[in-house]
């Protein structure tokens, strides 16, 4: 070294280079003993850091990556040649940071777990690794000396079996699977199930060999996984319910627990969670939302009570909160509803909504004891009237449609003989036709309400709103169309990075099943079979065909007029305040994980 050169400062004094990376753990089930194995890869001497140590597949999150998950898929393909046809995303772990002064790095780690769907031969290494093999994840602890720094920490964030024990892990894994695959129930019901799942898993978490704080951290980690690895696209309601319950548990533990034992903490937590479950079972916020919706109609459409003109409502999908609100309006006000419902493919929730409403009306009719006089019907109409239902099907298949009518006895009609509830079903593609005669209200639910007031709801919501607004514009603005979100306030989400929002794509099979149905032509069924080859084999002879089945889309706040909840009509400022309060609660519960 020349006398003019200065010696480099020690590594502990160098400025830290901040780097965000993904850690991708690949798992399979060992056929000999039925236990999980995790793949670890020996880093080569050509990489910049941690040469010759065992690690998961890892790499930087680049600016061009849409999200850490997108970076994970990219790194997997680059370093192993594995694609989404070869791997299944199991879960992701909570990100964390650590500093390695020896190399001047501050790492932000995003852990992911994947299941290998092929045999081992599908894994083809590039220059970044020399070899790889399968390992027992339970044998990789903090003292595992042959791995990269914080290997065990990253692993346990996706493989919760290491911290909570086998029994609790099996219960949690089964519960997550149900949350991910149950498309028959809405967000509120998913939240109810999530709370029961937390209670049940908490009772199974391993107590031996851990102190109270470590046990409580495991409980909070379980709640985090239920929120993030259940059905995150519908996770706002799940998160709100779990965080409220955990704040109550934490407060009780800190103020009431006099015995510093894990068993005492578990008993008190079980008591609080059981009470929360019971409260949810008797919860009546849906009825309060329904009353708020009826009040909203009274404020904006009061003259319709005198003119007897129905309120025309366009909606889609099946929200239990919206169903209850519509039922309440028909049964307990003098308003008549002309309800137009999009069938909501691929699972046809709109069809289910129509059937549910007619069933409930018929049950209400039977419960109230049948016919009354015309005078009695007229006098009670504005106070308590249940409705008959007329159902038409339009736009199914081709341009025309078939028509069926279901009517209740005459006493369940309005006093002038017209139905209180008229339901018309339309195909999703006929959204513009549904609005062609003009609609008064577009009513949508919410699976998530962002801090800005944007709403994530079933795909098809945005075209329905735009169609209704377009028709109103074509009519010269003489008929105002109001867009209303009807939802419990639990759907309000904390502020977050839009890049981290999960896009739920449920794959093409749900759509292909409809194409392959027996009533279709041989041409369509043959096409469905041909396109299925691409789903199994990926690209065929240089041709790639994929089927998008994204369940939810965003409606921007500028297209929404009102948010109706159990707290009444919310403004965007109230949504912002609620969102920020949620963020503070989330940070208190999960911030230390």
d(C-alpha 91, C-alpha 225), whole Å: 8
Lowest-confidence segment of 9-13, 151-155, 296-300, 315-319 by average pLDDT:
9-13
Is the model more confident about 369 or about 507? 507
Q: Clarify whether residues 228 and 291 are in a common domain.
A: no
Confidence check: pLDDT of 387 > 90: no
pLDDT attached to residue 425 = 97
Coil, strand or helix: which one is 592?
coil
Mean pLDDT of 338-342: 97
Confidence check: pLDDT of 247 > 70: yes
Does 346 sit behind a cis peptide bond, omega within 30 degrees of 0 on the bond before it? yes
Range of the domain at 262: 162-282
Q: Clarify whether residues 127 and 42 are in a common domain.
A: yes
* Banded model confidence at residue 408, pLDDT cuts 50, 70, 90: very low
pLDDT attached to residue 488 = 94
Q: Clarify whether residues 56 and 182 are in a common domain.
A: no
Give the chain's largest Cα–Cα span.
110
Q: What tokens appear for 498 in the block?
A: 């839009």
Q: Clarify whether residues 300 and 426 are in a common domain.
A: yes
Contact 338/520 with Cβ under 8 angstroms? Answer: no
Q: Clarify whether residues 472 and 526 are in a common domain.
A: no
Is the model more confident about 182 or about 497? 182
Report which of 293, 394, 287 is spatially closest to residue 351, judged by C-alpha positions. Answer: 394
- CATH label of the domain that carries residue 447: 3.40.50.10470
Q: What are phi and psi of 501, to 5 degrees?
A: -70, 135
Q: Which long-range contacts (CB under 8 A, 24 or more apart) does 69-78 make?
A: 69/112, 71/22, 71/110, 72/22, 72/24, 72/110, 72/112, 75/22, 75/24, 76/24, 76/114, 78/126
The domain total for the chain is: 4
pLDDT attached to residue 369 = 59
Residue 503 lies in a domain: no
* Banded model confidence at residue 185, pLDDT cuts 50, 70, 90: confident
pLDDT attached to residue 381 = 44
The whole-chain average pLDDT of the chain stands at 86
Q: Clarify whether residues 134 and 177 are in a common domain.
A: no
Coil, strand or helix: which one is 263?
helix
Q: Hey, how many other C-beta atoms are within 10 angstroms of the C-beta on 512?
A: 19
Coil, strand or helix: which one is 396?
coil
Contact 113/25 with Cβ under 8 angstroms? Answer: yes
DSSP label at 505? B
Contact 363/330 with Cβ under 8 angstroms? Answer: no
User: Residues of the chain with pLDDT > 90: what percent?
Assistant: 65
pLDDT attached to residue 400 = 35
Q: What tokens appear for 187 in the block?
A: 């967000």
pLDDT attached to residue 456 = 93
Q: Clarify whether residues 105 and 203 are in a common domain.
A: no
Structural domain ending residue among the three candidates 159, 186, 212: 159
d(C-alpha 188, C-alpha 241), whole Å: 10
CA-to-CA separations, 58 to 20, 376, 392, in angstroms, rounded: 10, 74, 56
d(C-alpha 376, C-alpha 419), whole Å: 16
pLDDT attached to residue 323 = 95
Q: Clarify whether residues 53 and 128 are in a common domain.
A: yes
Confidence check: pLDDT of 299 > 70: yes
Report which secondary-structure segment, H or E, holds 444.
strand 441-444
pLDDT attached to residue 545 = 81
Q: Hey, how many other C-beta atoms are within 10 angstroms of the C-beta on 283?
A: 14
Predicted confidence (pLDDT) per residue in 491-542, tens digit? 999 997 555 667 778 778 888 888 888 888 999 888 888 887 776 656 667 7
Contact 227/276 with Cβ under 8 angstroms? Answer: no
Half-sphere exposure of residue 312: CA atoms within 13 angstroms, side-chain side: 13
Q: Clarify whether residues 254 and 333 are in a common domain.
A: no
* Banded model confidence at residue 53, pLDDT cuts 50, 70, 90: very high
d(C-alpha 328, C-alpha 359), whole Å: 14
Confidence check: pLDDT of 115 > 90: yes
* Banded model confidence at residue 238, pLDDT cuts 50, 70, 90: very high
Confidence check: pLDDT of 383 > 50: no
Residue 590 lies in a domain: no
Mean pLDDT of 243-264: 88
Report which of 445, 441, 456 is spatially closest to residue 488, judged by C-alpha positions. Answer: 445
Q: Clarify whether residues 318 and 461 are in a common domain.
A: yes
* Banded model confidence at residue 327, pLDDT cuts 50, 70, 90: very high
pLDDT attached to residue 498 = 53
Contact 239/495 with Cβ under 8 angstroms? Answer: no
pLDDT attached to residue 403 = 32
Q: Clarify whether residues 48 and 141 are in a common domain.
A: yes
Coil, strand or helix: which one is 316?
strand
Classify the C-alpha dihedral 522-523-529-535 as positive or negative: negative
- CATH label of the domain that carries residue 232: 1.20.120.420
Q: Clarify whether residues 427 and 566 are in a common domain.
A: yes
Predicted confidence (pLDDT) per residue in 447-483, tens digit? 999 999 999 999 999 999 999 999 877 665 546 899 9
Residue 142 lies in a domain: yes
Residue whose structure tokens are 């963020």: 583
Mean pLDDT of 179-205: 91
Residue 57 lies in a domain: yes
Residue 438 lies in a domain: yes
Is the model more confident about 205 or about 283? 205
Is the model more confident about 438 or about 429? 429
d(C-alpha 25, C-alpha 57), whole Å: 7
Q: What tokens appear for 548 in the block?
A: 């998008």
Confidence check: pLDDT of 434 > 50: yes
Residue 466 lies in a domain: yes
Is the model more confident about 543 or about 355? 355
pLDDT attached to residue 503 = 76
Residue 38 pairs in a beta bridge with 27, 135
- CATH label of the domain that carries residue 44: 3.90.79.10
CA-to-CA separations, 476 to 287, 440, 472, 479, 480, in angstroms, rounded: 37, 15, 7, 8, 10
pLDDT attached to residue 530 = 82
pLDDT attached to residue 82 = 97
First to last CA, the chain: 47
d(C-alpha 503, C-alpha 591), whole Å: 24
Structural domain ending residue among the three candidates 122, 139, 159: 159
pLDDT attached to residue 505 = 81
CA-to-CA separations, 397 to 30, 235, 312, 351, 460, in angstroms, rounded: 48, 34, 24, 15, 17
pLDDT attached to residue 541 = 73
Mean pLDDT of 24-44: 95
Q: Hey, how many other C-beta atoms are within 10 angstroms of the C-beta on 455?
A: 27
Classify the C-alpha dihedral 150-151-154-159 as positive or negative: negative
Residue 502 lies in a domain: no
Q: Which residues contact 249 (CB under 8 A, 6 or more apart)?
A: 219, 268, 269, 272, 273
Q: Which residues contact 293 (CB under 8 A, 6 or more apart)?
A: 325, 328, 329, 484, 486, 564
Mean pLDDT of 346-350: 92
Structural domain ending residue among the three candidates 239, 256, 282: 282
d(C-alpha 245, C-alpha 253), whole Å: 12
């Amino acid at each position: 070294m020349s006398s003019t050169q200065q010696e480099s400062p020690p590594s502990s004094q160098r400025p830290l280079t901040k780097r965000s990376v993904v850690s991708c753990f690949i798992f399979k089930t060992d056929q000999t003993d039925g236990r999980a194995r995790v793949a670890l890869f020996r880093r080569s001497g050509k990489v910049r850091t941690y040469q010759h140590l065992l690690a998961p597949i890892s790499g930087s999150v680049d600016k061009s990556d849409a999200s850490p998950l997108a970076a994970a898929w990219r790194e997997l393909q680059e370093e192993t040649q594995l694609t989404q046809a070869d791997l299944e995303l199991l879960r992701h772990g909570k990100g964390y940071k650590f500093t390695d002064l020896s190399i001047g790095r501050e790492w932000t780690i995003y852990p992911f777990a994947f299941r290998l769907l092929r045999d081992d031969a599908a894994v083809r290494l590039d220059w970044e690794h020399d070899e790889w093999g399968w390992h027992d994840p339970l044998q990789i602890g903090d003292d595992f000396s042959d791995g990269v720094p914080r290997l065990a920490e990253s692993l346990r964030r996706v493989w919760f079996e290491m911290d909570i024990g086998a029994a609790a892990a099996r219960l949690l894994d089964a519960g997550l699977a149900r949350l991910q695959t149950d498309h028959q129930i809405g967000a509120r019901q998913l939240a109810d199930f999530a709370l029961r799942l937390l209670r049940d898993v908490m009772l199974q978490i391993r107590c031996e060999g851990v102190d109270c704080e470590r046990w409580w951290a495991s409980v909070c980690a379980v709640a985090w996984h239920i929120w993030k690895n259940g059905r995150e696209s519908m996770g706002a309601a799940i998160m709100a319910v779990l965080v409220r319950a955990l704040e109550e548990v934490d407060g009780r533990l800190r103020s009431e627990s006099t015995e510093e034992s894990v068993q005492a903490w578990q008993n008190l937590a079980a008591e609080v969670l059981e009470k929360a479950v019971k409260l949810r079972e008797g919860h009546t916020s849906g009825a309060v939302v329904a009353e708020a919706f009826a009040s909203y109609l009274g404020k904006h459409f009061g003259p319709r009570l005198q003119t007897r003109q129905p309120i025309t409502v366009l909606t889609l999908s099946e929200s239990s909160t919206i169903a209850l609100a519509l039922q309440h309006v028909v049964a307990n006000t003098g308003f008549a509803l002309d309800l137009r419902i999009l069938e909501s493919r691929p699972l046809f929730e709109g069809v289910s909504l129509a059937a549910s409403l007619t069933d409930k009306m018929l049950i209400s009719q039977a419960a109230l004891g049948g016919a009354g006089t015309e005078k009695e019907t007229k006098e009670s109409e504005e106070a308590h009237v249940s409705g008959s239902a007329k159902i038409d099907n339009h736009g199914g298949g081709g341009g025309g449609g078939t028509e069926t009518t279901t009517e209740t006895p005459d006493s369940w009609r309005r006093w002038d003989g017209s139905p209180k509830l008229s339901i018309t079903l339309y195909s999703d593609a006929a959204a513009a036709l549904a609005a062609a005669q003009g609609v008064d209200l577009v009513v949508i639910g919410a699976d998530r309400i962002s801090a800005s007031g944007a709403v994530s709801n079933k795909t098809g919501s945005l075209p329905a709103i735009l169609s209704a607004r377009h028709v109103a514009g074509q009519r010269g603005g003489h008929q105002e169309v109001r867009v209303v979100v009807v939802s419990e306030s639990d759907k309000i989400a904390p502020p977050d990075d839009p890049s981290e929002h999960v896009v739920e794509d449920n794959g093409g099979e749900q759509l292909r099943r409809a194409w392959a149905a027996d009533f279709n032509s041989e041409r369509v069924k043959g096409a469905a079979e041909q396109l299925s080859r691409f789903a199994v084999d990926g690209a065929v002879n240089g041709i790639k065909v994929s089927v998008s089945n994204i369940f939810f889309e965003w409606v921007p706040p500028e297209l929404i007029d009102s948010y109706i909840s159990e707290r009444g009509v919310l403004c965007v400022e109230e949504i912002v305040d609620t969102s920020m309060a949620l963020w503070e609660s989330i940070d208190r519960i999960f911030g230390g994980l």
